[in-house]
Amino acid sequence: MGVRVAVNGYGTIGKRVAYAISKQNDMQLIGVSKTKPDYNAILANRQGIPLYVPSEDHIKKFEEFGIKVAGIIEEMIKEADVIVDATPKGVGAKYKVMYEKFGKKAIFQGGEKAEIAEVSFSALCNYREALGKKYVRVVSCNTTALCRIICALRRIGNLKKIRATIVRRGADPHEYKKGPIESLVPDPVSLPSHHALDVKTVIPDVDIVTAAVVVPTTRMHLHIVNVEMTNKVSREELISILNDTPRILLVRWNYGFWSTGNIVEWARDILRPRYDIYEVIVWEESITVDNREVWLMYGVHQEAIVVPENVDAIRAIMKLEDDPIKSIQKTDASLGILKRWSI
């Protein structure tokens, strides 16, 4: 049956991680938690996922809505070997007290401060550092994408400096109260944005500066990255290494991948659940190499990109697999993560 995993916080990230766990043969989903009796709770019921709530009062409320509840969150924590905490930014830090009390391992998300965990995690970069640890933090969507690209580039040489512009989606599709609606917003206006600092929590010895702008879209982030290598590289070499790196997928602009909107449509057309795009989607035509300098552009599906990393983090923290590549391959096969779009 595998290790017993609970997902605390069944929202954007939590429900996707719960789905991914259900696809693994070395782990089992023992429950998820909800604070509100909404359609997500009803869908969890329908899928037979045990649902836990914060208190006895919540049980009454959920039952009034006709929703079955398995118990309170504390009981779910006690039953689990490891908890994936996908509660909103800052809430995970409060729950850590409960995880500590019951001696449970936990995986936190990028909204929490790095200090919450012993390791900030990116499967391609530092899987082994998380082996057997008690607390691991999967870095945010933007940081996960940057880390994958940086660790791929490191396979062909040393990186002197990285300068990246992050065009961030304003909200997730369901976040109807968030914006901006019209404006482009420097966020923050001073450099670097927090993403550069966050990358250093995974890869400390890297010279990186990031700038970020929030834009009115829900369909993915877009990064424009410029890297100066210490050695000369060729475009062919770079394309070959990106093609050879898991969770990075090259697409061609001139095949209709004109925008993040087209990438989302492609993901719908290949019937990805919820159009989830786990890969960093690199536009092949954007890859430009001039001696030691490299440029590229890629799209990042904020709702999905950290999902495979959470699965690998469970394997690392529970020591289910010592070899990062084996874990990555297992996760990727279970979720249908692609290395070629045109098969």
The set of catalytic residues is 141
Tell me if 31 contacts ligand NAD by CB under 6 A.
Answer: no
Contacting ligand NAD (CB under 6 A), which of 35, 245, 310, 327?
Answer: 35
Sole window of 5-13, 23-31, 155-163, 321-329 interacting with ligand NAD (rule: CB under 6 A): 5-13
C-beta of 31 vs 110, nearer to ligand NAD: 110
Of 291, 285, 272, whose CA–CA distance to 336 is shortest? Answer: 272
Tell me if 44 contacts ligand NAD by CB under 6 A.
Answer: no
Angstrom distance (rounded) from CA 80 to CA 235: 47
C-beta of 157 vs 170, nearer to ligand NAD: 170
Contacting ligand NAD (CB under 6 A), which of 55, 56, 60, 89?
Answer: 89
Tell me if 201 contacts ligand NAD by CB under 6 A.
Answer: no
Angstrom distance (rounded) from CA 105 to CA 98: 11
Residue 192, helix vs strand vs coil: coil
Q: Where are the beta strands (DSSP E) in the chain?
A: 3-8, 27-33, 51-53, 71-72, 82-85, 105-108, 119-121, 135-138, 159-169, 185-186, 208-215, 221-229, 248-251, 280-283, 288-290, 293-300
- How many other CB atoms are there within 10 angstroms of residue 315's CB atom? 26
- In the complex, the smallest distance separating the C-beta of residue 155 from ligand NAD, rounded to whole angstroms, is 25
- In the complex, the smallest distance separating the C-beta of residue 60 from ligand NAD, rounded to whole angstroms, is 17
Chain residues binding ligand NAD by CB under 6 A are 8-14, 33, 35-36, 54, 86-89, 91, 109-112, 140-141, 172, 302-303, 306
